[in-house]
Amino acid sequence: MSYTAPKHTIPAGERLELPGEGKFVRVLEASDWFELGLDGDALHFIEQGLAVESTGFNKLVIYNPQTVPITVRLGIANGVIHDSRFSVPGTLGVQVQNFPATAVVAEKDKPGVVPLGSSSTRLNNAPAMSALVDPAINTNGVIIRHCGLKASGSESLIMAGTTKPTGFYDLVAATLMHLPSGHTGRLENIYLAPGKGLWATQYSGTVYAYADYDVLP
């Protein structure tokens, strides 16, 4: 199996294109979250410990949305890379909990089953920077069950933060999805901490997006 693990530093707000063939990428080290794309595909949120598998790629694109440089080390291979490392600095407190020998798991709670969410927002031909989740309703946290975005006419973003982003290049809000024109994307099971909201925007033109979510009690 071919395997490389290059380490790169990406300046704030810049992108890096890395030539190289493979089918699997794992983020072995990362000083902060960033966005990753394979060949010409859309860029998506990723951080240390996460991995991406595909049928094959010839180029990686790394984008640093942070306001400071970040350093990342990627494991690139033509097969799956397993990372069994576990490291916790300082003292780790452990609490032992005994569970019944058998348990019945409802169909809706089984691994891989994602509920629809009790609330939803649909943006169809909406103005730029429209809210999918208003931070005013998020007092105890929100779980985004499904979130979709269509970049119909230009680049489009899904952004999160405590206040409405000021624009496409807002440096405070977190970019959860960044799509080039003509692409669609989808996210599942994203947790929004209390006080945070979710917005969709397009560089030019109107917005097409949706979110199904649960507001935590």
| Same domain, yes or no: 119 and 171 | yes
102-138 pLDDT, tens digit per residue, is 666 665 566 666 677 788 899 998 998 999 999 999 9
- Greater confidence, 106 or 160? 160
Same domain (yes/no): 38, 125? no
Residue 102 inside a domain? The answer is no
Nearest to 3 by CA among 81, 84, 83, 76: 76
Degrees (nearest 5) of the Cα angle 151, 202, 135? 115
pLDDT the model gives residue 152: 85
Q: Is 109 inside a domain boundary?
A: no
Question: Has residue 7 got a pLDDT over 70?
Answer: yes
Q: Which residue has the higher pLDDT, 91 or 33?
A: 33
Q: Say whether both 179 and 125 belong to one domain.
A: yes
Q: What is the dihedral of CA 102, 107, 110, 116, to 10 degrees?
A: -150
Q: How would you label 7-44 residue by residue, b for 16+ Cβ within 10 Å and e otherwise? A: eeebeeeeeeeeeeebbbbbbbebeebbbbbbeebbbb
Domain of 73, CATH number, reads 2.60.120.10
Last residue of a domain, one of 52, 77, 102: 77
Range of the domain at 23: 3-77
3-state secondary structure of 113: coil
Is 93 a domain residue?
no
Per the structure, the count of domains in the chain is: 2
State whether 70 and 130 are in the same domain: no
Q: For residue 141, what is the domain's CATH number?
A: 2.60.120
Could you say which of 29, 50, 77 is where a domain stops?
77
Q: Which long-range contacts (CB under 8 A, 24 or more apart) does 53-58 make?
A: 53/23, 53/24, 53/25, 53/80, 54/23, 54/24, 55/23, 56/21, 56/22, 56/23, 57/21, 57/22, 57/23, 58/19, 58/20, 58/21
| CA dihedral for 34, 39, 43, 49, sign (positive or negative) | negative
Domain check: are 141 and 64 in the same one? no
User: Taking all residues of the chain, what is their mean pLDDT, rounded to a whole number?
Assistant: 84
Q: Are 208 and 121 in the same domain?
A: yes
pLDDT 10s digits, 23-41:
888 898 999 999 988 887 8
Supply 5's token pair: 């693990």
23: in domain: yes
**What are the backbone dihedrals phi and psi of residue 153, each rounded to the nearest 5 degrees, phi first?**
-130, -20
Tokens, residue 209:
């997006």
- State whether 54 and 144 are in the same domain: no
Q: Give the up-direction half-sphere exposure of residue 143: CA atoms within 13 A in the CB hemisphere.
A: 11
Provide the pLDDT for residue 91: 63
DSSP calls for 60-106: EEEE--SSS-EEEEEEEESS----------S----------S--PPP
Whether residue 101 lies inside any domain: the answer is no
Q: Are residues 128 and 186 in the same domain?
A: yes
Q: How confident is the model at residue 71 (pLDDT cuts 50, 70, 90)?
A: very high
**pLDDT on residue 135:** 93
Does some domain include residue 12?
yes
Please state, as a whole number, how many other Cβ atoms lie within 10 Å of the Cβ of residue 120: 13
Q: How confident is the model at residue 189 (pLDDT cuts 50, 70, 90)?
A: confident
